[in-house]
Chain A
Amino acid sequence: MDAFYSDQAYRALVKSPAELVAQTLKATGANARGYTAAAAAMAPMGQVLFYPPNVAGWPGGSSWINSSTLLNRINFANAAAQRSQASMTAQTLAQLSDTLVDANVSPTTRDGLEAFAAAHSADQAGLLFMVLATPEFQLN
């Protein structure tokens, strides 16, 4: 068990677009019918499913992250959170943080999220987005 939390393993991988999209959709309670849209959302993040750049596959790791893909990752979380606003069950910041980022974010981020939650108490989608947009959520 400790090995999972070792420095070598814990948040040592960048989520691939497929992982990021799947986890985001699960977090926003989206249904499975939007799967083609979900696949399409991965393309601007640098991954077209079943269409790797060459036979070696996707290089992964830091190659998922550039200025364009990072903005796309964050904007996708925003759009997904907005879309699911109506169907979402209310969750506290503590619950969101626990499920999505292992209740382990930097103190600055924790303070920032708490401040957002306090200032926008009626905005469940906004809060969910803020958690999904953290650097911590970009990693596995």
Chain B
Amino acid sequence: MKRAERMKVLFICHGHPSIRPGGTEGYALEVFNAFRQRAGVDALFLAKGGQPMARSGNVHLGTFIAPVDDDPSEYLVFTDGYDYDWLNGSVRNLDFYTKHIHDFLVAVDPDVVHVQHTQSLGYPILREIRNSVPDAAIVYTLHEFLPICHNSGQMVRPETSELCTHASPRRCHECFPAITPQDFFLRQRFIQAHLSLVDAFVAPSHFLLERYARWGIPRERLHFVENGRALSGPPAPTASRANRNHFGFFGQLNPNKGVSVLLAAMRLLASGDSRIRLALHGANLELQQREFQQFVTASVDELADVTLHGAYQPEDMAQRMAPIDWVVVPSIWWENSPLVIQEAFFHGRPVICSDIGGMAEKVTDGVNGLHFRAGDAASLASVMRRAASSPTLWNRLRRGIKGVATIEDHVASLERIYQSILAVRRAEEVVHAG
């Protein structure tokens, strides 16, 4: 090991928020920015750029990286011209790793590589990290179940939307009949072979951590670290009204966030007398399937009490939150640690969420929020009705909200993890040298 004083951390992510807003990318950037403030740490960020998310791709011959802006710490890496194997999670032409990733890693020479996501970059990047910077600590954050589940990592079965508790080659083949059980087995082994190179995994929920432990990741490498937020400014003030009947949804407007369930619940509530209002704040509707887009816009048109607001920047959050009493998180998949829950709690808003996965872990029914039966519009409608009709309930739940972990807490935990791995490395070096 060379420098003992400063620790250089490279973050690798599958996207950059400036290209496309997204929870994972956004959070990865927040963590990166927080590390830049820390003493003794040099931080770098490498994000996958180019198609299909961005409008522009690789524009220079002979190199596959480019700075994001004028900042020497943020880079984009392109895979233009390289074919990606979506089933196994690998760029097919391995030169991408042995040449381009290799060159970048050797030039940057990090002490820690923290992989936030490998989608469209591929798992073999882990093997290349081991090859190029053998002494570096490799840390990997688990955001969803993509290594386990080919259905966008949701562990929700397509067609039926049934929740899935465990993967197996046969079950996965049932979800995707065109892919053989043998190919699913190969996928699992390929991914696990690469993940075995990771020194430490970060999981923001116990629920997710348990799933991965059961899937085969050694428990001693799995670390629970609560997501911390760099939420600035005072919490949004609440509106002064007697009835707490304003609900808000914040997040990507895609099917697995449960938007359909929420709209179906609003339909059921439309005939009632509680005058429940819903504000949809969200991005990326235009990226969804046509049918879904049409359903959403049609529902919004039809239901007078539903308003559609567009995408928002983190700075806008307080303003958008102000008229809202309850935040609804109706995801139909397990969720890990939805950032919106922390945002809601930061602003003192109780959360109504599905009773599964990371949501049910972060929100305790009757303490700081309410649960409804996942995927069940009638159940959600009933909970919303109850919530809207009881101001005392709202007050009690508001009081039940504890503080939100800060980003400083989060990065401090991460730094402890990095240091412990590096300490073990140093000890091993001594043993080998001696």
Do A and B associate with each other? no
